[in-house]
Each structure stands twice: as structure tokens, then as C-alpha cells.
Amino acid sequence: MTGDVLTLAQLFGFSVGDVLANIVNYAYYILFGAILASIIISFIPGYPSSGFFQAVFDAVRAIVNPILGPIRSVIPPLRIGGFGLDLSPLIAIIGLSIASTLLLTIINEFIRPITG
């Protein structure tokens, strides 16, 4: 099935390397945006009152919690005075950036020379 899709993409002039690089870039920006939205939402006291905003809030949390949850379990919030500073979004963004750069390097150096 995947081979058929890639063959069809090549038939229309797309290279496998370009398709894979675009998937990595889109995934990075979607996750980056979700983490930023989660940070902004965390400053809103309580849950949103509107049904639409509640759906957005739940969707963002569904995307971000599987990423930030394991980081939060390893690195607790930094206690500064009377409040805690959660460093997990910063660590997740740095990790996503490193993973994206690594994947794009692998695609450019190993996959594009083979597939064209």
C-alpha cells in the first residue's frame, strides 16, 4: 500500500525524499504549535466556558499530554518562590527540534541519493 502511494507520487513528479521531508516538517510545526498553544492555554484560569474553546482545549491537551507527560514524570517543576516553573514544554521543543534536524539529515544524506 505504501509503495503504491510513493509510486503514484513519483508518477506526478514528487520525489520520495521531498515527500518524507515535508511530512517531517509538517509534523514538527504541528507539534510545535500544539505545545505553544498548550503554554498559552495554561495561563487561562479554569476551563474555557465556550463549547468551541473546550473542544480546542481538549484537542491540544490530547496532542501534547503524551509528549509532556513522560518529561514531567522525570523532571519535576522548578520551585521558585511560591510557584512552580514547568520546564517540560521547553525540553519538548528542544527535543523536537533535534529530532526534526536529525530526520531531515537522514533523509537528505541517505534517502534522497537512493530514491532521487
| End-to-end Cα distance, the chain | 20
Q: Determine the angle formed by the axes of helices 51-74 and 88-106, rounding to 10 degrees.
A: 80
Q: How many CB atoms lie within 10 A of CB 98?
A: 10
Q: How confident is the model at residue 3 (pLDDT cuts 50, 70, 90)?
A: low
- What residues have CB less than 8 Å from 16, skipping those under 6 apart? 6, 9, 10, 111, 112, 115, 116
- For the chain, the structural domain boundaries read 2-115
Residue 105 grid cell: 539529515
Q: The pTM is what? A: 0.82
One-letter amino acid for residue 108 of the chain: N
Distance CA 27, CA 88 (A): 19
In whole angstroms, give the CA distance from residue 12 to residue 29: 26
Question: E-assigned strands of the chain?
Answer: 78-80, 83-85
Does residue 2 carry a pLDDT above 80? no
Share of the chain above pLDDT 70, in %: 89
Average pLDDT estimate for 47-61: 82
**pLDDT confidence of residue 115:** 78
Q: What is the pLDDT confidence band of residue 5, given thresholds at 50, 70 and 90?
A: low
